[in-house]
Structure 1
Amino acid sequence: MSTETESNYFNSYPPPKALQRHEALTRAFVQLQLEQNRRVVLVTSGGTTVPLENQTVRFIDNFSAGTRGASSAEQFLENGYAVIFLHRQFSLLPYSRHYSHSTNCFLDFMDEDPVTSSIVVRKEYQSSMRDVLRKYRYAKQNNLLLVLPFTTVTEYMFELRSLAHLMKPLGANALFYLAAAVSDFFIPRDRMAEHKIQSSEIPAHIGQHQPIQDDEVYTGYNEDQPGDVEKTEYKSKKLVIDLDPVPKFLHRLVDGWAPEGSMIVSFKLETDPTLLVYKARTSLQRYAHHLVIGNLLSTRKWEVVFVTPEEPHERWIRVPKSKRSKSISGSENQIGLAEKILHDQEHPDQPEEQQKEEKGESRGENEEGGGGVEIESLIIPELVKLHSKRIASRSTT
């Protein structure tokens, strides 16, 4: 993508109102980590919106609660990183996610002491909540976590560009972990409606401040009134949306925005197992970054695939069966399906078991233990190893 395309895009929109404040916070945060010679990861999380009107009532939203990003941020902190957490406003946050989106109301964790009337955590939750609270307090008190919100895809792009530039002094100690669900399509600002898009026709003189007859009052009905020919002008309308592709700024992040020597990791979410590895490979080749983590919507909580330029090129990471958490939306019977399809396509004459023996079992599959392990606890340690290897290779050149 050319710098001209970049300029045209960013010049078409005013900067987000919070951008200057976010830049000041990030500048101070990065300086503090530089003084400590600490690695810093920018974790993006949650979905972006695409407004349909300038005064936004309706918008297109990308599906994401922000679970991957929030959980990963906790794991990065556990592994000694400082975290800039760029997240969709009101999506899940590190540590508080354990309670903010719980199936129980937050108040269900609380009780009132009958003697002192003090509010206390119920006994059965104290141990787990104490552990989460200590980790959160440690991160905040030691200035290891900076939380910055966005909402629209344009706000996200402005924030990503600014934060990447501010991280330049970090060099190879910078890591970009792009887990946000970023919109692929948008409506350019000059084609956006100013006011709320109406679902029914409005009489032409409504906006001209002329008197309105009683039988012409716009009622907001979305359907034709049976037998009322006079009101057919108020019938509901189809909404046809013409979307443009969002400029692919990942190329600019790799080639211009990010610090020299930094590591850039993106995600590829698919629903079709036949496309997963192909799309991840294509993304890696197109943008020339360092790692694509592929995952299927139906199995994303239990398995991912690391796609890298170096051999073995694809490496699957799975939560062992005995440790898998339950998921209402997931399909355990699809675990391993994308890998099997890839094997059958590329090695039609080789039995699958033989291939597993040659390359070894996927990371985590032979481990034992109880249930409820989050896959991010397997992803991040492996990613830290790759980042360490990259830093070491640059220090020897």
Structure 2
Amino acid sequence: MAPEPNSEEDAYFDHNPPPSRTTLARHLALARAFIARHAAASPPRRVVLVTSGGTTVPLENQTVRFIDNFSAGTRGATSAEHFLRAGYAVIFLHRQFSLLPFSRHYSHNTNCFLDFLTTTPSAASAGNEKTQEQVVVQQQHQRKMAAVLREYQRARADDALLLLPFVSIAEYLWHLRELARALQPLGGAALFYLAAAVSDFFVPRERMAEHKIQSSEEFSAVAAAAGAGEVVPAARMAGKALVIDLDPVPKFLKRLVDGWAPAAMIVSFKLETDPAILTQKAEYALKKYAHHLVIGNLLSTRKWEVVFVSVLEGEKWIRVPRRRRTKSSSGVEALVGKAAAAESLKASPGSLEDGPQKDANEEEVDISEDGEPLVEIESLIIPEVKRLHEEFIARNSHR
């Protein structure tokens, strides 16, 4: 039986159309063809929708000013690579210009990408005394870049990676709903990995200023007079102050389970800054939205530890061993373990905390001071998600 319509959620789509229906239609056509190809493969290939990066909240219809967050899309882009290694086809719904799988190794770097390159003269061609310069990768970077390039080319050759960009909160939500519906035919073989940093607040279309909000008192007064009698914009100048009245974004996470993708496995994230409430908030989100797995992480330790909270397995911490942790300018390593309850600090037999994890492609990872490979936590997260997804499929196949 189909779930009852949720008036608040349905009203959002009724009153907040996508910025470009043409773009949405084009992306949806690409996604449907991508899904159909992998569903028809022998054997059929599982498809994961990875969302990544932050959403903007426009303050004007002709957008100049907007609210944004700091997310660069590191978790999503890194996870997408590991999903590809695990055999999934990946639809990567990402914030435009945020990090992408594979190119992230060079675009999210303190060095300019051009610093990895150099030029070298080639031999003069017959009948041509002038030598032609060639652009090549510097020797010290060739091994790692070649490994990254091979993986990228393999993903392209297998048609296993579909990149779909979004910018605003409206674009993201429209894409999420339509892609979820497109994935329905896959049933339990579809996986949602919701790593995007989605805004909790937005400006409704009917309360959005048409033109750029004027910071000058004189021009803001003129704009206010011109719009007299209309709905007061949610973002406006009031004297010398900018006033912004935001509405909460309807909680669509439950809708994924109830209507958009009822047979798929849903994995969502909970980011917090307070170690004392992280696990509680993850458990709360699990019950409220009926997702199958909530991955909790602290802002200060997210590159080194996460907590899995699921109905079947309860609470499970995954940590990168201390000597294998990648560096983080914003991380606070002293806080690792602070969010865990005392009993969860005791690693169970076979726990991922027992020792260094062997990376399948050691040539592709950086090396720690003692000569051992550093470990991205996503290389530990994705195998666990895959295991849970396999159990999810097996369990539901017997129903």
Scaled to the shorter chain, the TM-score interval is 0.7 to 0.9
The alpha-carbon distance between structure 1 residues 79 and 238, as it changes in their structure 2 partners (threshold 3 A), is same
Measured after TM superposition, the shift of residue 180 of structure 1 is 0.1
Cα separation, 2, equivalents of 1:254 and 1:133:
37
2:38 matched residue in structure 1: 33
Say yes or no: does 1:356 pair with 2:346. Answer: yes
Provide the secondary structure at the position in 2 that maps to 1:378.
helix
Identity value in percent: 61
Provide the secondary structure at the position in 1 that maps to 2:244.
coil
Aligned pair partner of 1:81 in 64, 80, 88: 88
1:193 matched residue in structure 2: 209
Provide the secondary structure at the position in 2 that maps to 1:283.
helix
- TM (norm. structure 2) is 0.86
Aligned pair partner of 1:290 in 269, 289, 292: 292
The alpha-carbon distance between structure 1 residues 368 and 79, as it changes in their structure 2 partners (threshold 3 A), is closer
2:112 matched residue in structure 1: 105
8 Å contact 2:188–2:265 — kept in the other structure? yes
8 Å contact 2:301–2:335 — kept in the other structure? yes
Deviates more, 1:12-21 or 1:174-183: 12-21
Amino acid at match of 1:384: K
Provide the secondary structure at the position in 1 that maps to 2:274.
coil
Q: Can you give the 5+ residue segments of structure 1 that lack an aligned partner in the other structure?
A: 209-233, 344-351
Measured after TM superposition, the shift of residue 367 of structure 1 is 2.4
Aligned pair partner of 2:11 in 3, 8, 18: 8
Cα separation, 1, equivalents of 2:356 and 2:150:
28
Cα separation, 2, equivalents of 1:30 and 1:288:
25
The alpha-carbon distance between structure 1 residues 386 and 193, as it changes in their structure 2 partners (threshold 3 A), is same
2:178 matched residue in structure 1: 162
Aligned pair partner of 1:184 in 200, 206, 231: 200
Cα separation, 2, equivalents of 1:207 and 1:42:
43
Q: Which has the larger radius of gyration?
A: 1
8 Å contact 2:17–2:170 — kept in the other structure? no
1:375 matched residue in structure 2: 377
The alpha-carbon distance between structure 1 residues 2 and 239, as it changes in their structure 2 partners (threshold 3 A), is farther
The alpha-carbon distance between structure 1 residues 383 and 301, as it changes in their structure 2 partners (threshold 3 A), is same
Cα separation, 1, equivalents of 2:346 and 2:31:
45
8 Å contact 1:39–1:174 — kept in the other structure? yes
1:228 matched residue in structure 2: none
Deviates more, 1:11-20 or 1:248-257: 11-20
8 Å contact 2:214–2:220 — kept in the other structure? no
1:72 matched residue in structure 2: 79
Say yes or no: does 1:134 pair with 2:150. Answer: yes
1:172 matched residue in structure 2: 188
8 Å contact 2:53–2:95 — kept in the other structure? yes
Measured after TM superposition, the shift of residue 114 of structure 1 is 2.5
Amino acid at match of 2:273: T
Measured after TM superposition, the shift of residue 152 of structure 1 is 0.5
Aligned positions of 1:217-256 closer than 5 A = 237-256=240-259
8 Å contact 1:45–1:69 — kept in the other structure? yes
2:280 matched residue in structure 1: 278
Provide the secondary structure at the position in 1 that maps to 2:346.
helix
Cα separation, 2, equivalents of 1:204 and 1:393:
61
The alpha-carbon distance between structure 1 residues 304 and 117, as it changes in their structure 2 partners (threshold 3 A), is same
- TM (norm. structure 1) is 0.86
Query: Deviation digits for residues 103-138 of structure 1, max 9, x if unmatched?
Result: 111111111113341111111111111111110011
Measured after TM superposition, the shift of residue 269 of structure 1 is 0.3
Provide the secondary structure at the position in 2 that maps to 1:113.
strand
Cα separation, 1, equivalents of 2:223 and 2:199:
34
1:333 matched residue in structure 2: 334
1:349 matched residue in structure 2: none
1:24 matched residue in structure 2: 29
Measured after TM superposition, the shift of residue 205 of structure 1 is 8.6
Measured after TM superposition, the shift of residue 35 of structure 1 is 0.6
Please give the root-mean-square deviation of Cα atoms over the aligned residues, in Å.
2.2
Amino acid at match of 2:332: S
2:140 matched residue in structure 1: 124
Provide the secondary structure at the position in 1 that maps to 2:276.
coil
1:220 matched residue in structure 2: none
Measured after TM superposition, the shift of residue 7 of structure 1 is 2.2
Q: Can you give the 5+ residue segments of structure 2 that lack an aligned partner in the other structure?
A: 123-131, 225-236, 359-371
Measured after TM superposition, the shift of residue 204 of structure 1 is 8.3
Cα separation, 1, equivalents of 2:95 and 2:259:
24
